[in-house]
Amino acid sequence: MTSFKHHFEPSNLREYDIRGIVGKSLHNDDAYALGRTFGSIVRRSGGQVVAVGYDGRVSSPDLEQALVKGLVASGITVLRVGLGPTPMLYYTSVTRKADGAIMVTGSHNPPDHNGFKMMLHGKPFFGKQIKQLGGFAEAGDVVEEAAGQVETVDPSESYITRLLQDYDGEKPLKVVWDNGNSAAGDVLTRLVKHLPGEHTVLYPEIDGTFPNHHPDPTVEANLADLIAEVRRQKADVGVAFDGDADRVGVVDGEGNILWGDQILVLLARDVLKKRPGETIIADVKASQVLFDEVAKAGGKPLMWRTGHSLIKSKMAETASPLAGEMSGHIFFADKWYGFDDALYGAIRVLGIVARLPETLAAWRSALPVMVNTPELRFPCDDTRKFEVISEVAKRLEQEGANVSAIDGVRVQTDDGWWLLRASNTQAVLVGRIEARSHEGLDRLKAAFTAQLKASGLEAPNFDAAASGH
C-alpha cells in the first residue's frame, strides 16, 4: 500500500472549487495532494489523461508544478496547457477528449488567494465530489504510485481559430477591451487582430498582482477605466474579464453597464430566433425582466440555483442552448461546448451588436426599467446561515407567500420580488430586491428586513443601494 496521506484545510474545500490563501491555508503540498488524489479518482473511473492549466497569479506556476507531479505519480498522462484563461483549458479538455481537467486559478479573488477548478469526464467536479476527494486524501485512499507522463501542448492557435469561427457581425465595430491584467492577455491580443473594426486592449499584460484594478467585472468601480475609454473613443461597446476570463462584463457606447441578466436577454433573443421554444437558464438573482423577455421571445425561461457548476449540470440535463448568471458566467451550448467562456461570450455579443439596427445603448434603454438593489452580502455564521433560510421559509409558508425555494427563498409580490439565500462559498447571506417603483422597493425592503429581524439578524445597509436596470 502507498504511504500517502494528506489533510486539506476544510474551509478550502468549497462547493464549486478548492480555494485558499497562499502560504496560510493553501500550500504546494496541497497541490501535490490534489494531483495524487484526483489522479487516483480518474484512474479508478477508467481514465488516463488530465489537462492542466494555470492563471497569471504569482503563486500559480509553483502550484501547477506540484499538481503535475502529483498527477504523474498517480500514473496520469498530463496535457500541460500552460498559462492562459480557464476556458482555454476547458476547450483543450473537450477537444482532446481528456478524462479530467484542473485549472490553477484564484479567479476574481485577491492576489494572495489561489485554487483549483476541476472537470471529470467532461462534467464539473464539485459539491460532494470535492468533499469526497478530501476524505480520500485524509485516508490515503489513492492508487499505487506509478510513472505517468507529461505532454506539453499549446492549444492557443486552435482555440483562437475556433472562437473566430462563430463571429457573425455584419459591420465593423469600435471596441474597447479591458483585460484587467487577466490570464486572457496573450490570447486576447492575438484574437482582436483577426476581428473586423477597431480594437483597443487595456491592461493586456498578464500580471497576477492586478496593479490597475481588481479583476471582477460585476463591481462597478472595476469598470471605471473601461467606461472612461469607451466614452473617450466613442466606441460601440466595451468588454471586461475577470482574472481567469470565464466571466464577462459589457458596457454600451454611452458607458452604461449591461449586467449579467441584461447580457443574457441580448443573447437569448438572438439564440431563440433559430431555436424557438428552447430552455434558457438563469440563476435566482436575475431580474424578472430576463425571465419575461425570454418568454416573450418564444423561449422557456428556467430559474436555477446560483453556481457555475450547478448551472452547467442543469444545462446538460435540460439540453439548454444558453444559460447565465448575474456574476457574468455565460454558458453556450449553441454552437459551443456548454462551458462558461468570457472570450466566446464576447464574440457572440459583438456579432449581435454588429447586426443590431440601433446602437447597443438604444437597445438597452428600450428594456423595461426596474428599480433594484445590487447584490446585498452580509456576514452570517456558516452553520447559522442555512438555519436562517429554513426559518424564513417556514414563516413565509405560514403567511401563504408566493415563494420559489430553488435556492434560498425568492418571494414574488405585486410590487416585485426579494431574494435571500445562503452563499455556498462564504459565511454570508446574500439578498437582492427588485420592484417596479421606488415605493414598491421600500415595501419589499421592509418585508425583507422584518424577516431578518425575526431571525435575530440586522438588515444590511440599503443606503445608495437602489439602481435602475
**pLDDT tens for each residue of 196-216:** 999 999 999 999 999 999 999
- Specify whether the CB–CB gap between 420 and 387 falls below 8 A: no
Query: What are the two backbone dihedrals, phi and then psi, of residue 72, each rounded to the nearest 5 degrees?
Result: -60, -40
Whether the pLDDT of residue 311 is over 80: the answer is: yes
Query: pLDDT-based confidence at 463, cuts 50/70/90?
Result: low
Whether the pLDDT of residue 79 is over 70: the answer is: yes
Query: pLDDT-based confidence at 383, cuts 50/70/90?
Result: confident
Whether the pLDDT of residue 251 is over 50: the answer is: yes
Per-residue pLDDT at 32: 98
Per-residue pLDDT at 2: 63
Per-residue pLDDT at 395: 97
Domain with CATH 3.30.310.50 in the chain: 371-468
107 is catalytic: yes
Average pLDDT, the chain: 95
Higher-scoring residue by pLDDT: 308, 158:
158
Query: pLDDT-based confidence at 375, cuts 50/70/90?
Result: confident
Whether the pLDDT of residue 319 is over 60: the answer is: yes
Q: How far apart are the first and last CA of the chain?
A: 60
Query: What are the two backbone dihedrals, phi and then psi, of residue 187, each rounded to the nearest 5 degrees?
Result: -60, -45
Query: pLDDT-based confidence at 397, cuts 50/70/90?
Result: very high
- Rounded Cα distance, 265 and 260, in Å: 9
Please give the average per-residue pLDDT across 43-53, as a whole number. Answer: 98
- Rounded Cα distance, 421 and 399, in Å: 19
Cell of 449: 428586513
- Judged by average pLDDT, the poorest of 72-81, 98-107, 417-426 is 417-426
Please give the average per-residue pLDDT across 87-92, as a whole number. Answer: 98
Per-residue pLDDT at 1: 47
In the chain, the percentage of residues whose pLDDT exceeds 70 is 98
Please give the average per-residue pLDDT across 322-340, as a whole number. Answer: 96
Whether the pLDDT of residue 235 is over 60: the answer is: yes
Whether the pLDDT of residue 180 is over 50: the answer is: yes
Which CATH number among 3.40.190.10, 3.30.310.50, 2.50.20.10, 3.40.50.720 corresponds to the domain 371-468? 3.30.310.50
Higher-scoring residue by pLDDT: 219, 264:
264
- Specify whether the CB–CB gap between 169 and 350 falls below 8 A: yes
**Strand 248-252's sheet: what is its strand order?**
198-202, 174-178, 237-241, 248-252, 257-258
Whether the pLDDT of residue 56 is over 90: the answer is: yes
Per-residue pLDDT at 108: 86
Per-residue pLDDT at 241: 97
Domain with CATH 3.40.120.10 in the chain: 10-154, 158-365
Whether the pLDDT of residue 52 is over 60: the answer is: yes
- Specify whether the CB–CB gap between 336 and 344 falls below 8 A: yes
* Rg of the chain on CA atoms, in Å: 22
Q: Which of 40, 59, 74, 107 is catalytic?
A: 107
> pLDDT for 95-133, tens place per residue?
999 999 999 999 988 899 999 999 999 999 999 999 999
Please give the average per-residue pLDDT across 49-59, as a whole number. Answer: 98
Per-residue pLDDT at 467: 45
Whether the pLDDT of residue 448 is over 50: the answer is: yes
Whether the pLDDT of residue 347 is over 80: the answer is: yes
DSSP state of 148: -
The CATH fold of domain 10-154: Alpha-D-Glucose-1,6-Bisphosphate; Chain A, domain 3 (3.40.120)
- Rounded Cα distance, 345 and 56, in Å: 21
48 three-class SS: coil
Please give the average per-residue pLDDT across 56-60, as a whole number. Answer: 97
Which CATH number among 3.40.50.20, 3.40.120.10, 3.90.1150.10, 3.30.70.890 corresponds to the domain 158-365? 3.40.120.10
- Specify whether the CB–CB gap between 126 and 16 falls below 8 A: yes
Whether the pLDDT of residue 17 is over 60: the answer is: yes
Give this prediction's pTM: 0.94
Give the H or E element holding residue 119. Answer: strand 113-120
